[in-house]
Structure 1
Amino acid sequence: MKIFNWIINYILIVLLFLACSKNESNPEITTNQSKEITIFHINDQHGQLDNFSKIKHIVDEEKQISNVLLVCGGDMFSGNPVVDNHPQKGFPMIDVMNTVGFDVSVIGNHEFDYGELILNDRFNQSKFSWVCANINTTNSTITQPNAFKTIEINGLKITFLGLVETNGKENGIIPSTHPWRVQNLTFEKFENSVVKYADLKENEQADVLVALTHLGESSDIKLANSYPYFDLIIGGHSHTVTNQTVNKIPIYQAGSNLNNLGKIKLTIKNKQITSINYQLINLNNYTNFDSAIKEKVDYYNANSDLDNVIGFAEAYHSKSNVGSFYTDILRKQMNVDLTFQNTGGIRNTLDAGDILKREIYSIDPFNNGSVTYTMTIAEIKNFLQQTKIAIYYAGVYISQVNGKIEIRDINNQLLNDNTTLTIGLNDYIPAVYDTYFTQTPTIKPYTTAEGLIEYLQNNSNSINYTQVNSYFQYQ
């Protein structure tokens, strides 16, 4: 009888064990549970370092209560001489982002500004992943980035697909960077690339599919309307603060220059977002910081050799005033008849008082070379009229009268179409508009920023261009 009872008890224990095991493997029990994750995001920091210590503090606090990912919407470089003129260009930015703990970034158009070799060095330096689906580096020294990255955290799988804009050249498909610096790369319009990933969420068995883009707000809206594969879109490029839902897809962008940190808090169940809460954190108003990151950033700032006084400004100069200052000083430095500069190449204002070397590099951060061409007035007019480029200029007077462009000399005498002028400019403009600049240029032995610095160092006159208006765009 005792043996019989023992057998019965044994059978009951086995059956109970099997029942429990079955319940543990039941997908309905494991997948029906809601889980939370917080995704922090920045974009278009353009070399700014100072607020990363605050980001580290915010992210570390959130990690105490939630699953956390930290991502970047591209354009890390070009805008802060501490980063852009470091002996290893871009190195401080990647070093700080590695230490803060970024997980993934899309490639922005200004990531190419230093050239292919340096970008590949920055890829190799990074401890986070880079993603971009519409670039091919087969003929380049750059390692091919993955189109997407799936990150698994506490049982959640989050997939990020990267896309970069390709509006850099009228007769080409490249990002908005110096064309000579992407000669060995090929790009595809994002519309042609994204359709290949319509089933990405299913293929990756992801809980959330994110488009991590550097396309700009209008293209993100198009992405949501025409390619609704994504659970959300985190963007960059247009420097906008974006928090909107299009075609049931949330779209976020956090401005620029590391002024803000976006915080997306998601609740996920059965591979669907059941709730979403968004907060835009103003980093300039946030007071706490991580001391180790601040110490690292302070070190880079203190050892950049950028605080030499090279001139004096009698008044504050807006960007348009700076455009007039920039072109006139460059005209004198290059000893040419006419200079002009694309308005997008003027990246900062100028404060009154001492002019520091760092200010010139922040105004002109792209390390563009200085070149000269000889062109007729007719060729100049054709370029301005056909491209409708917005420029600042110096050396002549340019106006539009009854739909026609008039160019006059400094004595206000109208120049005829056969008159020849020597033109000085940065080499980005002829690289983008190569159909209008067909000659072989004369190359100066300095970048445009170095040319400005050299002139200011060698001339003691204070500058004041607040009453000068040298803007032109053909309408």
Structure 2
Amino acid sequence: MRNLYKYILTTIVFLILISCSKDDTSTNSIPQNELKELTIFHINDPHGQIANFSKIKHIVDQEKEKTNVILVCSGDIFSGNPVVDNHIEKGFPMIDLMNKVGFNISVIGNHEFDYGEDILKDRLNQSQFNWVCANVAMNNTNIPEPDEFKTITINNLKITFLGLVETNGKENDVIPSTHPWRVKNLTFEKYQNVINNFAQVKQSENSDLYIALTHLGESSDINIANNYPYFDLIIGGHSHSKVNTSINNIPIFQAGSYLNYLGKISLKVKNKKVESLDYTLINLNTYQNKDNSIQTLIETYNDTANLDDVIGFSEVYHNRASVGSFYTDALRNEMNVDITFQNTGGIRNDLDEGNILKREIYSIDPFNNGSVTYTMSVAEIKNFLKGSKASIYYSGVSSITQENNTIIIKDQNNQTIDDNTILTIGVNDYIPAVYDTYFTQTPTLLPYTTAETLINYLEHHNTPINYTSINSYFKYQ
């Protein structure tokens, strides 16, 4: 993309240089047949979970006493922990901890965009580690442009990382899986359209290793290994998988999610090729040792978050489907509308029996989505459900069902609602942003997020909640 001309020029210069220096026997050059050792530690999809950073610091520091070490992240560092997502500087605890633990590099993940342009700009500026992503252009947003690829030199080793992010966020558009209104000034390309531009990076950078640091998901990593075999390794994220495999002789790794695991890749490199490789997936939840200074910082962030206020009571455990029924019912009551919808992917946690804390609501709904209302006919609602095939929870009607190709919506008295009936609809603003073909009106914007709506409802609703007997799920098949 933006640096392609520079890259081509660098490649030409490199080729000229090597053609003019056939047998460089300079005493300053490092013999290519020297065996070089390296350990790469990697995480992916931590989603704001901070508890195990003190363990990572301890592990990494111990390894640095033995060999060369690089610490990398495969994206999605934000969205999923209210301590991080509702900090006065949204996301900063993750950046602060990653700086202090000693991360070297991260690819941008789709959830890095969740907070919006201004906040992303601040977080990137605060990072003391490198960011890479070859298929995004920040344009005129003042967000720092990540490097398409970055070479890290450690002692006698040169390791180059190419970054790629997924772009499956919206039908008929090329954006990551984030709120479309928060990336409207950025430009993305499918990774397949740019990856060939970087086929010769290992040669032009004269690197010992060339690594794809991706946030694409396991299936896309496999596709890269099969069809774009330029890489010595692929370290991935996005699909929250635990991956340790080799495709087309290219090792592929992924370390689960939520900072439960730390991947350890132990390498021996010779003649710019991997001579040997050992892999360990470290379970951080069972690892006992911690770095005390990082642990103190983690505890400070947790203690100052003020998220342990009791705001309600749950009679029973609610799985995510039951939470969806509660969620939409609370929105409907608080927003004072006829019907509410919630995308199933926006319910990110279950709800335990007993006291309900603020942090639980923010864990269920971590995305800071706004609350909006529309006025639509039942026919328009059916058109949205049928055309989008969205998986949704709902409240305000007794049932939404499908008979052959027909959607039937029945009111609270179990009577079929006519297509011409006009209803007010409450949703989070992610839904109309993604499915804008079906939400063409100008919405009414409410002055609180959907998470704040749930908290307001619970604080003024004294009855214990129990939605386990309600089934309010629909998806057009």
Q: Give 1:32's aligned residue.
A: 33
Distance 1:337 1:246 in 2: 52
Distance 1:308 1:219 in 2: 42
Question: Is the contact made by 1:117 and 1:142 (CA closer than 8 Å) also made in structure 2?
Answer: yes
Distance 1:297 1:90 in 2: 14
* Aligned-partner residue type, residue 367 of structure 1: N
Q: Give 2:281's aligned residue.
A: 280
Q: Give 1:249's aligned residue.
A: 250
Q: Give 1:291's aligned residue.
A: 292
Change over 3 Å in CA distance of 1:34–1:422 after alignment to 2: same
Distance 1:256 1:458 in 2: 35
* Aligned-partner residue type, residue 427 of structure 1: D
Distance 2:230 2:30 in 1: 27
Offset, 1:28: 9.3
Q: Give 1:197's aligned residue.
A: 198
Question: Is the contact made by 1:133 and 1:162 (CA closer than 8 Å) also made in structure 2?
Answer: yes
Distance 1:258 1:28 in 2: 40
TM-score (norm. length: structure 2): 0.94
TM-score (norm. length: structure 1): 0.94
Pair 1:124-2:125 in alignment: yes
Q: Deviations over 1:396-433 (max 9, x none)?
A: 11111223211111111011211111110000010011
Pair 1:435-2:406 in alignment: no
Distance 1:394 1:81 in 2: 26
Distance 2:27 2:445 in 1: 70
SS of the residue 1:158 aligns to: strand
Q: Deviations over 1:96-124 (max 9, x none)?
A: 00000000000000000111111010011
Q: After superposing the two structures, state which structure 1 stretch, 100-109 or 411-420, moved more.
A: 411-420
Q: Give 2:453's aligned residue.
A: 451
Distance 2:394 2:142 in 1: 37
Q: Give 1:4's aligned residue.
A: none
1:76-91 to 2 correspondences below 5 Å = 76-91=77-92
Question: Is the contact made by 2:132 and 2:150 (CA closer than 8 Å) also made in structure 1?
Answer: yes
Q: Give 1:366's aligned residue.
A: 367
Offset, 1:440: 0.3
Offset, 1:436: 0.5
Offset, 1:459: 1.4
Pair 1:382-2:380 in alignment: no
Offset, 1:26: 6.3
Distance 1:299 1:389 in 2: 40
Q: Deviations over 1:236-271 (max 9, x none)?
A: 111111111111111111111001000111110000
* Aligned-partner residue type, residue 414 of structure 1: T
Offset, 1:141: 2.0
Q: Give 1:426's aligned residue.
A: 428
Change over 3 Å in CA distance of 1:29–1:93 after alignment to 2: closer
Distance 1:159 1:235 in 2: 15
Q: Give 1:16's aligned residue.
A: none
Distance 2:111 2:280 in 1: 27
* Aligned-partner residue type, residue 137 of structure 2: N
Q: Give 2:468's aligned residue.
A: 466
Q: Give 1:10's aligned residue.
A: none
Question: Is the contact made by 1:23 and 1:29 (CA closer than 8 Å) also made in structure 2?
Answer: no
SS of the residue 1:146 aligns to: coil
Offset, 1:23: 11
Question: Is the contact made by 2:371 and 2:429 (CA closer than 8 Å) also made in structure 1?
Answer: yes
Question: Is the contact made by 2:377 and 2:419 (CA closer than 8 Å) also made in structure 1?
Answer: yes
Pair 1:72-2:78 in alignment: no
Distance 1:229 1:29 in 2: 23
Q: 4+ residue stretches of structure 1 with deviation over 3 A?
A: 22-29
SS of the residue 1:92 aligns to: helix
RMSD: 1.3
Distance 1:180 1:343 in 2: 19
Distance 1:159 1:177 in 2: 28
Distance 2:175 2:430 in 1: 13
Distance 1:92 1:379 in 2: 43
Q: Give 1:148's aligned residue.
A: 149
Distance 1:27 1:249 in 2: 32
1:163-202 to 2 correspondences below 5 Å = 163-202=164-203
Alignment length, in residue pairs? 454
* Aligned-partner residue type, residue 141 of structure 1: N
Distance 1:196 1:359 in 2: 45
Distance 1:369 1:81 in 2: 16
Offset, 1:280: 0.6
Q: Deviations over 1:57-88 (max 9, x none)?
A: 11111111111000000000000010000001
Q: Give 1:309's aligned residue.
A: 310
Distance 1:418 1:172 in 2: 31
Distance 1:143 1:69 in 2: 23
Distance 2:277 2:472 in 1: 48
Offset, 1:308: 0.5
Question: Is the contact made by 1:242 and 1:253 (CA closer than 8 Å) also made in structure 2?
Answer: yes
SS of the residue 1:284 aligns to: coil
Q: Deviations over 1:212-252 (max 9, x none)?
A: 00001111111111111111100011111111111111111
Distance 1:372 1:170 in 2: 23
| Unmatched tracts of structure 1, length 5 or more | 1-21
* Aligned-partner residue type, residue 164 of structure 2: L
SS of the residue 1:348 aligns to: coil
* Aligned-partner residue type, residue 394 of structure 1: S
SS of the residue 1:265 aligns to: strand
Distance 1:29 1:130 in 2: 28
Q: Give 1:5's aligned residue.
A: none
Offset, 1:342: 0.6
Pair 1:157-2:158 in alignment: yes
Q: Deviations over 1:378-401 (max 9, x none)?
A: 111111111111111111111112
Change over 3 Å in CA distance of 1:383–1:153 after alignment to 2: same
Distance 2:30 2:250 in 1: 28
1:317-396 to 2 correspondences below 5 Å = 317-396=318-397
SS of the residue 1:252 aligns to: strand
Question: Is the contact made by 2:30 and 2:156 (CA closer than 8 Å) also made in structure 1?
Answer: no
Question: Is the contact made by 2:339 and 2:394 (CA closer than 8 Å) also made in structure 1?
Answer: yes
SS of the residue 1:75 aligns to: coil
Distance 2:30 2:208 in 1: 16
* Aligned-partner residue type, residue 129 of structure 2: F
Q: Give 1:49's aligned residue.
A: 50
